[in-house]
Amino acid sequence: MNEALVIIDYTNDFVATNGALTAGRPAQAIEDAIEQLAEQYARAGKFVFLPTDVHTPNDPFHPETKLFPPHNVRDTWGRELYGQLEPWYRSQADNDKVIQFDKTRYSSFAGTPFDLLLRERKIDHLHLVGVCTDICVLHTAVDAYNLNYDLTIHQDAVATFKPGGQEWALDHFKTVLGASVV
């Protein structure tokens, strides 16, 4: 089994108290777990992917424009990685196994080279962390399942802003996608 860590959308806009679309305290509470996993994977020479939501404000062609306020706008504070993950990521600048890439939809696979990046590296097992559990983590997991990747969800390293969303998504990962929830 060749595994990789996938840190989904852990940005200021989704996590910081004053983020545009924040999950707030639940997302802030998982910071240490995410950073520890990132460091563990990097030290072990394993891949760490950071698919990161990016938008243009008021894009008339993007479906999220009707659903959410502007968030994760390119080249803004809101799109920067949250907390200690930002300096950790910068410290990995010379590590070709730490890869951040843009995504414009909930799933890290939709309209991105993610599947190709994984297959080129013979990765078949994904460890998912980040936000939001019931949106971007979930949609990434569904696409990964449909592409035959094995999945592990780290419940102490995912969070959401919707009441009940965390429990529902964790159950869905286990009972519908056959993921391990640890």
Res 57: pLDDT: 87
- For residue 98, the domain's CATH number is 3.40.50.850
pTM over 0.95: yes
Cα–Cα distance for residue pair 106/130, rounded to 1 Å: 12
∠ at Cα 73 (62, 108), nearest 5°?
A: 60
Res 58: pLDDT: 85
Backbone phi and psi for residue 87, each to the nearest 5 degrees, phi listed first: -65, -35
- Mean pLDDT per 10-residue interval, the chain, length 182 residues: 95 98 97 98 98 93 89 96 98 97 98 98 98 98 98 98 95 98 98
Length of the chain: 182
Instruction: Give the domain range for residue 24.
Output: 3-181
Res 145: pLDDT: 98
Res 1: pLDDT: 65
Give the number of domains in the chain. 1
